Amino acid sequence: MIFKHYLKTAGLLFTLCAFSTAQAQTLGEEIEAIADIVVDINGTGDYTSVLAGLNAVPDSSDEWTIVYVKNGFYYEKIILKPAKMKVVLVGENVDSTILSYDDHGDGSLPGHTFSSYSFRADAHDFQAYNITFENTNTTSQAVAFHSNGDRQILFHCKLLSNQDTYFDNFRTRRYIKDCFIEGDVDFIFGFGVTLFDTCHIYCNDPGYVTAASTPQYYEFGYVFRGSYVTVREGGNWSVSLGRPWFPYSNTIFYECWLSARIVGSGWSPWDGREATCIYQEYNNIGPGSDTTFRADWSSQLDPALADRYNIDTIFAASNFPSDLGPEVDSIEFWSMRDRFEASGYAERADTILYAGRDYWPEYPTDNWVPEFYEPVYGIVTNYTDFFINAVDTTTANGLRPVLTQDQGISVLSPAKEQLVISCTQAISTGARLSLYDLNGRVLFVKDLGGLPEGLTEVSLQGLGLGTGIYVYQIETEAGISAGKVMKE
């Protein structure tokens, strides 16, 4: 058995170990061959609008429906209705399949911010691949992706806006993997439980990355794991990791890379609600990870609790306090509604609480373990380079590379059950290797300490890895290098 590696550098794809990546078909051809519904703005599919395609999905189906969207700019305000469950929405190309609208938080509308969405997913069991969701409005709050459903997955998508880019609702869970999320003020906000796994969080102006409003009794709220936070070049401003929209906001950055432009305090107060919020960090790296001057009401995660931050635990039914009885159930909702009503905005609370339905959502009762839908996931990953591997200083958006080329770390093919790390120059200390399966589960973590120039062998014996594709990540003080390896 051997591993083979794909490495992207300076915009070019190199294949090590003489492995051929030639494909007989394109991603679009493979997806279209298995799609149930095809959307093409140019008229070659079943529908020319995404909304029409989603409305054609059977109601309350037990079977998955694949909706394939060909490249194009789709200017639509889209709702995936609650009855349209088990939908897989997949685009031809993440940069060329764009679902866009231009709306903002209008005070004349009952929902205000919560009516500004470009795309709203009310249904449970929704998955999206290879799609850009954007809201181009710059006036005020402008939600690009609004999630009301439970058990939703986003993979290799872009969420683009400024203020309030992403919102999620009560009693819902999402697994967001390898996504690019851009904004400025409170651009990741809401009441849900969401794992942002190896995502790129890009701050395009001064502001706050998160504004969680986690209900009081949840163990988990927003978990950023293995992700990195970058800030637009220019100016002398800083960015906060978050501020508490509601009193029990729960957010953690777990083994992430943080830009030097992260404010020294890490987090920001908001009307005294910081006294009860849960803001934590754990083993972050990068120039913004220094915790010396962190706010005293934030904390570093107790290492004894670190193992709880895994997919199985975060999305378990036990995270939701249904065992506390109807009194807590009522308090959770009415405390939120009362706060909006006190501000004169009770209609906004109703817009959130009903989430496109005529009843309030119930607590999840299942222990959800996210599973990407095959074969869509397999096809997409065959044609896709992770965002974490594709940042280039030569591009117009001016993003910093995750790992600069002069520190050149890569993984080569091993002879047996091992990875061979290749370094173009020595790293004195602080290197860590992690290996994941394609569902984001951690299979192997090893603190390497320093790395010499040249080759270093790391044994994987005893892991029992089958044939397939795996993801490696090597963290150093300079950043993160990541890529795919394939075991044959």
Domain residue ranges of the chain, discontinuous segments joined by +: 27-327, 402-487
Question: What pLDDT was estimated at residue 420?
Answer: 72
Contact 165, 196 (CB under 8 A): no
Task: Give Cα 135 distance to the centre of its chain.
Answer: 17
pLDDT tens-digit map of 294-315: 999 999 999 999 999 999 999 9
Question: What pLDDT was estimated at residue 389?
Answer: 45
Same fold, 27-327 and 402-487: no
pLDDT tens-digit map of 211-257: 999 988 899 999 999 898 989 887 788 999 999 998 899 999 998 98
Strand order in the sheet with 222-225: 37-39, 65-69, 87-91, 126-129, 152-155, 173-177, 193-197, 222-225, 250-254, 278-282, 299-300
Question: What pLDDT was estimated at residue 33?
Answer: 96
Distance of alpha carbon 9 from alpha carbon 90, whole angstroms: 26
Contact 371, 328 (CB under 8 A): no
pTM for the predicted model, two decimal places:
0.76
With H, G, I as helix, E, B as strand and everything else as coil, classify residue 292: coil
With H, G, I as helix, E, B as strand and everything else as coil, classify residue 411: strand
Of the CATH numbers 1.10.3470.10, 3.10.20.30, 2.60.40.3080, 3.40.50.300, which one belongs to the domain with range 402-487? Answer: 2.60.40.3080
Question: What pLDDT was estimated at residue 3?
Answer: 37
Confidence category of residue 1, pLDDT binned at 50, 70, 90: very low
Whether the predicted pLDDT of 416 surpasses 60: no
Average pLDDT over residues 413-418: 52
Cis bond before residue 414 (omega within 30° of 0): no
Beta strand 37-39 with 65-69: parallel, antiparallel or unpaired? parallel
Distance of alpha carbon 406 from alpha carbon 394, whole angstroms: 15
For 385-451, strand residue ranges (E) read 409-412, 418-423, 427-436, 442-451
The DSSP call for residue 112 is G
% of the chain surpassing 70 pLDDT: 80
The token pair at 3 is 């591993």
Whether the predicted pLDDT of 82 surpasses 90: yes
pLDDT tens-digit map of 350-407: 777 777 777 778 889 999 999 999 999 999 998 887 776 432 322 222 222 333 223 3
Q: Which CATH code fits 27-327?
A: 2.160.20.10
**Lowest-confidence pick of 10-19, 53-62, 436-445:** 10-19
* 162 DSSP β-pair partners: none
Tell me how many degrees the CA angle 268-331-174 measures, rounded to the nearest 5: 60
pLDDT tens-digit map of 103-156: 877 665 556 778 789 999 999 999 999 999 999 988 888 999 999 999 999 999
Burial, 214: exposed, middle or buried (Cβ in 10 Å; 0-12, 13-18, 19+)? buried
Question: What pLDDT was estimated at residue 178?
Answer: 93
